[in-house]
Amino acid sequence: MAERDDNLVWMTVGGLGAMALGIALIPFRSLTSASNLAFVFLAFTIIVAELGGRSAALLTAVVSAMSLNFFLTEPYLTLVINKVDDVVAFLALAGCGLIAAAFGKRRGRWSEAAARAGEELSILNRLVDGLRANKPLTGILSDLTREFRLGAMVLRDSDGRVVAAAPADRAPDAIPEASLSADTLFPADDTRLQFGLRGLRLPQGGGRLSLGTDRGAVAVDLWEGDTAGLDLNQGRTLAVAASILALEVSRRRAGQAR
């Protein structure tokens, strides 16, 4: 909701600002051509694109072109353009404004991707911090099921014994038939692929990650909790988290054997 409100604020700033800019430049229309004044609108559009994103920049570009036409090209206070130079200035401003809006969209995607990457890295950092602090594995699995919206998560050692499960009181007893890729969580059997709004969904009966360690293969069983699925980055992050857990199980078993 906050992001939507921020977009509305910048759309308002861009639209009203472009009209106010046209009025403010009226004293200069007799001193220079409209094509020169268009650079002021273009600079304003670029600023809005950088701070407000694509939607605000797009609106600013359209209103800027209309404001230039209405206030600064002859005949004034109409949307009619008589001079060829003014037509060129109008079209150039509109085109450059749309380009600025497109770059604003790309910047928005980069910002969103960076935010997701930071969030996923923080999940792994919390996992490692929890293991260093000897936090119970059940609590760590509970955190991961919440972060990735999983229905259940079970960690088994190389002998098939349950090391930890979440939720502890409702973890499935059944072993998933589907084998998952350790890199992407994609099922090995392509016929089991399902996709939700966000991305790949886990198989209906759950999926198993089998991870090799120096103490044998550790299994991480996963069940779906959200039909929207996991995007590619979330799948990779969850796979990395499972690998870290497998190494932790191996380390603890080695400690017990001494």
Does residue 172 have a cis bond before it (omega within 30 degrees)? Answer: no
Which long-range contacts (C-beta less than 8 Å, at least 24 apart) are formed by 80-87? 85/33, 85/34, 85/35, 86/33, 86/34, 86/35
Residue 128 in domain = no
CB atoms within 10 A of CB 103: 14
Number of domains into which the chain is organized = 2
Residue 82 in domain = yes
Pair (62, 15) in one structural domain: yes
Residue 119 in domain = no
Pair (166, 236) in one structural domain: yes
**For the segment 73-87, what is each residue's pLDDT rounded down to a tens digit?**
888 888 787 777 777
Pair (228, 183) in one structural domain: yes
CB atoms within 10 A of CB 113: 11
Dist CA 181 CA 169 (whole Å): 28
Pair (193, 224) in one structural domain: yes
Pair (105, 195) in one structural domain: no
Pair (93, 173) in one structural domain: no
Burial 14-32 (b: 16+ CB within 10 A, else e): bbebbbebbeebeeebeee
Residue 120 in domain = no
Q: Which of 113, 147, 181 is the last residue of a domain?
A: 113
Q: Which of 79, 113, 147 is the last residue of a domain?
A: 113
- CATH code for the domain in which residue 188 is found: 3.30.450
Residue 162 in domain = yes
> pLDDT category, 30, cuts 50, 70, 90?
confident
Dist CA 174 CA 168 (whole Å): 14
pLDDT value at 107 more than 60: no
Pair (237, 140) in one structural domain: yes
Which residues are paired to 221 by β-bridges? 154, 208
Q: Are strands 194-195 and 200-201 parallel, antiparallel or unpaired?
A: antiparallel
3-state secondary structure of 180: strand
Dist CA 191 CA 120 (whole Å): 29
CB 56 within 8 A of CB 13: yes
Pair (245, 140) in one structural domain: yes
Which residues are paired to 194 by β-bridges? 201
Whole-structure pTM value: 0.57
> pLDDT category, 181, cuts 50, 70, 90?
confident
Pair (66, 162) in one structural domain: no
Closest CA to 238 of 132, 149, 110: 149
Structure tokens at 40: 């002021």
Q: Which of 82, 113, 144 is the last residue of a domain?
A: 113
**For the segment 233-254, what is each residue's pLDDT rounded down to a tens digit?**
888 888 888 898 888 888 877 7
Pair (150, 105) in one structural domain: no
Pair (48, 149) in one structural domain: no
**Which residues form the domain of 39?**
2-113
Dist CA 72 CA 39 (whole Å): 13
Pair (181, 230) in one structural domain: yes
Residue 95 in domain = yes
∠ CA 102-104-105, nearest 5°, is 65
Residue 127 in domain = no
| Maximum average pLDDT range among 11-20, 46-55, 70-79, 162-171 | 11-20
Q: Are strands 162-166 and 150-156 parallel, antiparallel or unpaired?
A: antiparallel
Residue 57 in domain = yes
